[in-house]
């Protein structure tokens, strides 16, 4: 009974909340690096996004950042590349990749989440089932910069 309910939720999550498919953003490591940040234990985002992350923008997304984040153009893709962070010999080092989070701008396809599709992929490149509406609910905090929190560091 309980198991059935859980399976039902998962099916709903995959079908409705995952916003349909989006391919793994191959080659994003060759895009423009926007910024980096370490989220440590005790930070409110630690459970979901603890570790060291780097943010990358494709050319359309870079144009959006450089225009002052008023509106990112159609086709913008932003990748949140999350790695383990390890302390070693008084240095902070990159560990294994934990996941990547992806935002894709396509207003006709994603009208309910501010024109952005939200996706995540595991270290093996396979899509993770996520609740795009929950992603967007927090990104509402950046509503006046087209739902993008990070700023480009020249
Ligand atoms: C509780 C708040 C919160 C939730 C939930 C959240 N994010 Fe974010 N996200 C942030 C913050 C804050 C940043 C900025 C991090 C930085 O400046 O380095 C960010 C940055 C990003 C970025 C880079 C673009 C930007 O806005 O700076 C992507 C891509 C991203 N998140 C994807 C996702 C995805 C996909 C999900 C859902 C699986 C998600 N986020 C859920 C708070 C959140």
pTM: 0.91
In this prediction, residue 19 has a pLDDT band, given cuts at 50, 70 and 90, of confident
Q: How far is the CA of 80 from the centre of ligand 1 (A)?
A: 7
- From atom 16 of ligand 1, which residue's Cα is the shortest distance away? 150
* Ligand 1 pocket by Cβ (under 6 Å): 35, 37, 45, 55, 78, 80, 101-103, 118-120, 130, 134-135, 138-139, 142, 148-150
The stretch 107-132 carries a mean pLDDT of 97
The stretch 130-140 carries a mean pLDDT of 97
In this prediction, residue 9 has a pLDDT band, given cuts at 50, 70 and 90, of very low
> How big is the CA angle at 122 (ends 65 and 51), to the nearest 5 degrees?
65
pLDDT the model gives residue 122: 98
Asked if residue 150 belongs to a domain, the reply is: no
Q: How many CA atoms lie within 13 A of 14 on its CB side?
A: 7
Asked if residue 110 belongs to a domain, the reply is: yes
Asked if residue 90 belongs to a domain, the reply is: yes
Q: Bridge partners of 100?
A: 81, 121
Residue 80 to residues 34, 70, 102, 108, Cα–Cα distance (Å): 10, 20, 6, 23
Asked if residue 126 belongs to a domain, the reply is: yes
Whether the per-residue pLDDT at 2 is higher than 50: the answer is: no
Whether the per-residue pLDDT at 99 is higher than 80: the answer is: yes
Question: Any idea what DSSP says for residue 113?
Answer: G
pLDDT the model gives residue 18: 62
Whether the per-residue pLDDT at 14 is higher than 50: the answer is: no
Asked if residue 152 belongs to a domain, the reply is: no
- From atom 19 of ligand 1, which residue's Cα is the shortest distance away? 149
The structural domain count of the chain equals 1
- From atom 5 of ligand 1, which residue's Cα is the shortest distance away? 135
What is the chain's alpha carbon radius of gyration, rounded to the nearest angstrom? 16
CATH number at residue 52: 3.50.70.20
Whether the per-residue pLDDT at 13 is higher than 90: the answer is: no
Give the range of the structural domain holding residue 26, as residue numbers without chain letter.
2-145
Query: Which numbered atom of ligand 1 lies nearest the CA of 137?
Result: 5
The stretch 112-124 carries a mean pLDDT of 98
Asked if residue 151 belongs to a domain, the reply is: no
Q: What is the pLDDT of residues 24-82, one digit of tens each?
A: 999 999 999 999 999 999 999 999 999 999 999 999 999 999 999 999 999 999 999 99
Q: What is the pLDDT of residues 70-91, one digit of tens each?
A: 999 999 999 999 999 999 999 9
């Amino acid at each position: 009974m309980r198991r059935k309910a859980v399976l039902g939720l998962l099916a709903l999550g995959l079908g409705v909340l995952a916003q349909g498919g989006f391919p793994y953003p191959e080659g994003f490591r060759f895009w423009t690096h926007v910024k980096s940040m370490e989220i440590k234990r005790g930070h409110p985002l630690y459970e979901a996004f603890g570790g060291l992350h780097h943010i990358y923008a494709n050319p359309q997304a870079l144009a959006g950042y450089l225009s002052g984040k008023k509106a990112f153009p159609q086709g913008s893709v932003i990748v949140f590349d999350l790695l383990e962070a390890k302390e070693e010999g008084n240095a902070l080092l990159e560990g294994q990749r934990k996941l990547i989070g992806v935002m894709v701008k396509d207003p006709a396809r994603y009208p309910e989440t501010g024109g952005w599709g939200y996706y995540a992929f595991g270290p093996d490149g396979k899509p993770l089932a996520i609740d795009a509406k929950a992603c967007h609910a927090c990104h509402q905090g950046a509503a006046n910069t087209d739902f993008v929190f990070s700023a480009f560091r020249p």
